[in-house]
Amino acid sequence: MNKSELINELSEETTFSKKDVMRVVDALVGAIRRSLKKGEKVSITGFGSFWLSKRPARKGINPATKQRISLPAVNVPRFKAGKTLREAVRGVRMAS
């Protein structure tokens, strides 16, 4: 499911207009993004938690030139599904 499909489904389920649902989805994503940029953890009970994890600096290889390069330390977003979400999808077969 992509963003537009999510908006369509939420619009049908709530009877809100697609425009209103899009504004809410954009606001939610923006709030999560801003919190992560501040280094805050975002927890949505029953759904899961988002947080930043630091990936240390490391050595890498440029695949085109095979030259060794230094990769800087970076922050990467992480997500852990909550118990309710994990239980809801447990046993669901993945599409090939």
pLDDT tens for the chain, 96 residues long, are 999 999 999 999 999 999 999 999 999 999 999 999 999 999 999 999 999 999 999 999 999 999 999 999 999 999 999 999 999 999 888 876
CATH of 3-89, one of 3.40.50.1240, 1.20.5.510, 3.30.1330.60, 4.10.520.10: 4.10.520.10
Angle at 43 between CA 80 and CA 31, to 5 degrees: 110
Does this model's pTM top 0.85? My answer is no
Whose structure tokens read 């280094």? Answer: 39
Q: Where are the domains of the chain?
A: 3-89
Helix residue spans in the chain (DSSP H): 3-14, 18-37, 83-89
